[in-house]
Amino acid sequence: MAPHQLQGKSPAESVRWICEEEPRKASGLNRELGRDEDNMLQMAMRKEARQRYRSVEQFAADIGRYLSNEPVLARPARAGYHLRKYVRGHRIGAAVAAGLVLLLASFVAVQAAQLRRITRERDRADRVTQFMNDLALNLNREGHHGEAEKVLRDTLDVRRRHFGPQQPDTLRTMSSLAITITVQSRYAEAERLQSETLDMQRRVLGPEHPETLRSMTNLANVLSREGRYPDAEKLEREALGMQHRVLGPEHPETLRLLTNLANTLSHEGRYAEAEKLQRETLGIQRRVLGPEHPGTLVTMTDLGVSLKQQSRYAEAEKLQREALGIQRRVLGPEHPSTLRSINILSS
């Protein structure tokens, strides 16, 4: 069947019909033909020359693309059309690609499930270790240092396995364990562990991070207990400069370090320097912490010792009795700080 119905028309009418009327679609003439055939034939017979194939070769090339299941020029450039053509012309490749997509989806699903499981395990490990840390803290406060050490070692093992050896909470647990070992007078072991902790904190957290500075104070305390006073003083002065800058001169950690440095100076026999630092610290503590704060009372007692070492007995006794009176009332008669003041007064 012809694309134009010209039966019964004169030659002139036939010419006008062909020039002005759109031809019938090929699929209407033959139902076995599809949209691509319609579009190619329509493009070949369009009225406007710029809308037709530019040459017979271009028309032939489009027929070749059609036969190869590739997109034809006569169809609009829609993504769905191009995808369907690709799949028809590359059935094996398309099947492989579909398999890869399914495999990737399965992999993503498995990874997501594993991530959820790991997250649940990490959350549970975090809750458990937080509880264990609190338990160890209470055990240390009550003087059960051996039991606290066991709890902290278990906590450290869990944290290393679930969070890694350099995670901040892992490092904090290491530092707590080192302190617990220190109070049990195992100074060499405590020094090794605190030094390891400090090295990792400097690398992971930075040299001026509060946790890093706290570990410097703890390590200096271990060195002082080992009798290595010059090494302790050097580390304390280094930490003090950074704490003044980072935390401020009235921060509790800064005041704690000032107290430790004064004690180190006293151990070195530099009592006048120790006294000066203790008076400075005591003034800040009374203003910031209050006159009955345990830290304030410790500094009062330490200052009394420095005065006594300089043979200023009357001043020393007056200060010690004042501190002892507050300690008995606030801390109780059997508190270690109260007992220490009684011992200093009686010696």
Each residue's pLDDT tens digit, 66-103 = 766 777 676 655 555 555 555 555 555 555 456 555 65
Residues of the chain with pLDDT under 70: 1-34, 45, 47-49, 51, 56, 67-68, 72, 74-115, 117-118
- Which stretch of DSSP H or E encloses residue 250? none
**CA separation for the pair 337, 344 (Å, rounded):** 11
Kindly report the CATH class assigned to 248-347.
mainly alpha
Predicted pLDDT of residue 57: 74
Q: Where are the domains of the chain?
A: 12-73, 119-228, 248-347
Tell me if domain 119-228 and domain 248-347 are identical in fold: yes
Predicted pLDDT of residue 116: 73
Amino acid identity of residue 69, one-letter, is N
Predicted pLDDT of residue 303: 96
pLDDT tens per residue across span 314-340: 999 999 999 999 999 999 999 999 999
Predicted pLDDT of residue 178: 97
**CA separation for the pair 132, 144 (Å, rounded):** 14
Predicted pLDDT of residue 76: 57
Q: How far apart are the first and last CA of the chain?
A: 129
**Beta strands in 45-91, from DSSP E residues, in sequence order:** none
Cα 103 to chain center, whole Å? 31
101: left (phi over 0), alpha (psi -120 to 50) or beta: alpha
Asked if 199 and 166 count as a contact pair (C-beta separation under 8 A), the reply is: no
The 3-state DSSP class for residue 76 equals coil
Closest listed residue to residue 129, CA positions, set 174, 84, 191, 81: 174
Question: 């329509």: which residue's tokens?
Answer: 42
239 Cβ neighbours under 8 A, 6+ residues apart:
213, 216, 217, 220, 257
Written as six digits, the tokens of 168 are 């901040």
Predicted pLDDT of residue 87: 53
Select 119-228's CATH number: 1.25.40.10, 1.10.3720.10, 3.40.50.11740, 1.10.10.10.
1.25.40.10
Question: 């000066």: which residue's tokens?
Answer: 276
